[in-house]
Chains A and B, each alone.
Chain A
Amino acid sequence: MIKAIALKKSFFLDKREITVLKGIDFTIETGERIAICGESGAGKSTLLQIIGSLDKPSSGSVSFSGVDIFSHSEQELAKWRNTSLGFVFQFHHLLPEFSALENVMTPALIKGIPMPEAKEMAALLLQKVGLGERLRHKPGELSGGEQQRVALARALIMQPKAVLADEPTGNLDARTSDEIVDLLLECNREFNTTLLLVTHSQRLAAQMDRTILIENGLILEL
């Protein structure tokens, strides 16, 4: 489903080329669970950003279901990003003054889904992540793990085909991060969502199908 061919990312400074990704090839099947690991600065976040179309490669291509994403027009690209991808960031901005339900339904409203429908979708998703009884709780009234579950529900409400997560459990203790990982895996099983996680955690990586280890802009093993 996701195919990267000879992905290179470099930039020029004073006519000198500095290469971050030096030729990355891989294929990820729909529903596969992948960990992207590597030292800080190895290029793994750059790779995630390119796959997420937040950044463009210097050469090479990324295709989803056989279609080169960077051959899309700008408008199509934005549409594709907003309908196909879900981003889960390390604990990002749940708004303390809004209930879990409001936090989760916001992206759906932004997407143009009418209020009653958005509310229903959000409630359903929160139920799914085990917070059905806490729809009206505000983040401050929830534990760290519960908050991250709300963040996950917020990413899932866009019904993404792939979830791209940069250190999704970076701020959580071992037990809570296991719960979050279980949820990610469950959503992978249930909706066949492709999972791509950038992580430093060996434990987390071990629970994925495969690890893409990046060193010095190249894939070490697959």
Chain B
Amino acid sequence: MLNGPRKDNSTTFSSPKTRQKSLHLQIILARTQLREGKLSEGIETYFTIATEMVLKGELGKAAAIYKLILKNDNHNPLALVFLSSLYHHQGLGAEARQLYTPVEGETRQEKTSPVDNITLSEIGELEKILPTRKIEKNETIITQNQANHNLYLIAEGRFQVIHQETRGQALELATLGKGNFFGELTMLLPNRNATATIIARESGKLLIVAKEEFRRFLETRPPLLETVFAAAHKRLIEYTLRPLFISGDHRDRPWLSRIAEVFQVRQFSAQELLLKEGERNQNLYVILDGNLQVSCQDSDIKNQIPITNLNAGDFFGEFSLLTGAAASATVKALSTGWVACLKRREVDRLAAHFPGFLPRILNSFRARKQDLIKKKINYLSTQPRQGLKGKR
């Protein structure tokens, strides 16, 4: 579409690589870039397409592309202003205003487009078999930090996901609608409290799957089970990684969802060794759930010295990752849990995008190194001379 010969009167136009590709190919390129987590490249490709459309006078198509940009990067101000202008140009002011509907909160926060979605026909089918509950406007369905026992599928209405930050700030994370669901973390981690508050923005209807029923119900519906678990994994990663990546600058936030897709999640069992001192390691691990113990062996007394315990939100593997040396400690699971792994090359990629990421890991590395030395000294001072004697 775009690769036809240019007219003579448009001599100001350049015709470089991306612009020569067809519209279809360019959109595929943008999608691929986005899927690979290259947000800025993908957005740029979309902008290139949209600008091309504007220069050709195809404003309707340009509007569609700006919408795609906002779908991937909700706060792209340029796309917001351009789209608003396009709408206005076409006499659609109200729709433009809707784009600007303020997100409640100190700054305009991200509205992560939910990865989870159940098709509308599925919802219709499930509505016949699942218990339903009518919801009033402003009703709180789940409260952060309190227990939750159900998976909720939205049949009607819009629901707001709000996270209360430790600093007292509240973030609206997303608005969910028909086909979305929430409460899935409870299904993955039955003992964990809710990580966010869910409030009905308008009256609606929810389909309810109780925790006890969940497996039995979904095991006969593998695609649905997969959708729910994939969403639970992603949300768990996003929730856990937030403090690691989010600098407080709201412009970082839309990235989180992309970052979450780069991590691989796996379950571990109690007593499992995730990292063994002296062995090569190529991963950075972030604990999503469960308890682990870090210990190292003392070469003099052949004992495991416990260094520290790790919980959800902590990470390990950074020492060998940063230095390229063998693992400096052993990490053993004390309970079952979930861990997210990031491969070395992905670490490099993330570090390039997030200048704050590496210093953060480095700080922890220094602190832990000091901790290790202190603990070692303490430990040795409580083991009076035995080990040393033995050695002599």
Nearest CB of A to B349, in Å: 21
Q: Are A107's CB and B82's CB within 8 A?
A: yes
Interface residues of B in 365-391 (CB under 8 A from A): none
Question: Which secondary structure characterizes the binding site on chain B?
Answer: helix
Do A110 and B59 contact each other (CB < 8 Å), given the known contacts A18-B170, A79-B88, A93-B44? yes
Q: Which of B27-35, B101-109, B296-304, B323-331 contacts A (4 or more CB under 8 A)?
A: B101-109
A18 touches B13 (CB 8 A): no
Whose C-beta in chain A lies nearest to the C-beta of B107? A45
With CB as the reference atom, state the residue of chain B lying closest to A40.
Answer: B248
Is A73 close to B, CB under 8 A? yes
* B85 pairs with A107, CB closer than 8 A: yes
A101 contacts which chain B residues (CB < 8 A)?
12
Are B102 and A56 touching (Cβ within 8 A)? yes
B162 within 8 A of A: yes
Please, which residues of chain A bring their CB within 8 A of the CB of B43? 93
Question: Contacts A95-B44, A106-B51: A111 and B197 contacting too (C-beta < 8 A)?
Answer: no
The chain A residue with its CB closest to the CB of B17 is A97
CA distance A12 to B162 in the complex (A): 11
Residue of A12, A79, A111, A135 touching B12 (CB-CB under 8 A) = A135
Give Cα A106–Cα B82 distance, bound, in whole angstroms.
9
- Name the contact of B93 in the complex, choosing from A77, A103, A107, A136 (C-beta under 8 A): A77
Contacts of A192 in B (CB 8 A): none
A133 an interface residue at 8 Å Cβ cutoff?
A: no
CB distance from A47 to the nearest CB of B (A): 11
B residues less than 8 Å from A73 (CB atoms): 93
B85 touches A138 (CB 8 A): no
| Chain B residues, CB < 8 A from A87 | 77, 81
Q: Cα distance A20–B171 when bound, in Å?
A: 13
Q: Is the CB of A77 within 8 A of B97?
A: yes
- Indicate if the CB atoms of B55 and A78 lie closer than 8 Å: no
**Residues A53 and B100 in contact in the complex (CB < 8 Å), given A95-B44, A101-B12:** yes
Beyond the given A79-B93, A82-B88, could you list 8 further A-B residue pairs with CB under 8 A, ordered by the A residue number?
A14-B199, A20-B106, A41-B106, A54-B100, A92-B78, A102-B51, A110-B59, A110-B86
Listed from nearest, the 4 A-B pairs whose CB atoms lie closest are: A75-B93, A11-B104, A74-B97, A78-B93
Residues in chain A within 8 A of chain B (CB atoms): 11-14, 18, 20, 40-41, 43, 45-46, 49, 53-56, 73-79, 81-82, 87, 89, 92-93, 95-99, 101-103, 106-107, 109-112, 115, 119, 135-136, 138
